[in-house]
Amino acid sequence: MSKSDIWMPLYIGDYLADTMRLSTLQHGAYLLLLMEYWRTGPLPDDDAELASIAKLDHHTWLAQAPLLRRFFRRGADGLLHQKRADAERARTAEISAKRREAVRLRDAAKAIKTRSNADHVIPHARCRATATVTVSVPAERRGKAARDPSGVRDEFWSEGLAAFRRLTGRPDAASRQFLGQLLRGLRDDCAAAMVLLRQAELDRPGDPAAWLLAATRARLGGPAGEHPLSRAAQMRRVAEIFNHTETE
């Protein structure tokens, strides 16, 4: 069952302001038309089908149709459109798409981390075949392992940059500088950075830059041994990013 089958936005004040002259019968028919619109999109410009949707017999529908049709306009596609309903359906579809993208990027970040961790473990030559030991890997190699071959880095510097500019209104150069510092704070993990940017777009925090820095701080504060820097060094890095951003 899709979300459109169980939920529909209804702005009570706006609805009542537009429908003050409707009778009880007309209210019921109009709401049924709106529900069908929400589920399936623009309505057919056919009195028989509209009567069926409104649960009215054909004669009763024809008597009410002149008033109810005023809430819709016939589009170039031959269907009945309503501007507010189209806008709400488009907005909801955009939010759903962003949430799906955030989930995709989160899963991509997990996959990258799994592959990166796998690169840090090698078989011990003198032990049984099932035994492994963890070895230290240079920071440069860790950075290369974190890069996603599927194009997340390009996506970060295109869609991620555009999202940050929409959130903050900062010019391109300042936005690039901030995101570059943020990316360094996340150990060059573009997928993780995209997850944070998508979440910021959904949450719309009052201060997006500060929100992103706080989210980075939370990621840096993971279990002991997860990050190559000490906890104190992690906090110093986040503070450097924050202080530098505040002076722009």
pLDDT along the chain (248 residues), means of 10: 69 90 95 94 95 96 95 94 90 81 79 63 44 42 46 86 90 91 86 86 87 81 43 49 46
Which pLDDT score is estimated for 136? 43
Query: Cα(195)–Cα(160) distance, rounded to whole angstroms?
Result: 9
Classify the C-alpha dihedral 48-51-55-59 as positive or negative.
Answer: negative
- What predicted TM-score, i.e. pTM, was given to this entire model? 0.43
Q: Which two tokens stand for residue 18?
A: 């537009």
Quick one: pLDDT at residue 224?
A: 36
Handedness of CA 225, 231, 237, 242 (dihedral sign): positive
pLDDT of residue 46: 95
pLDDT value for 234? 45
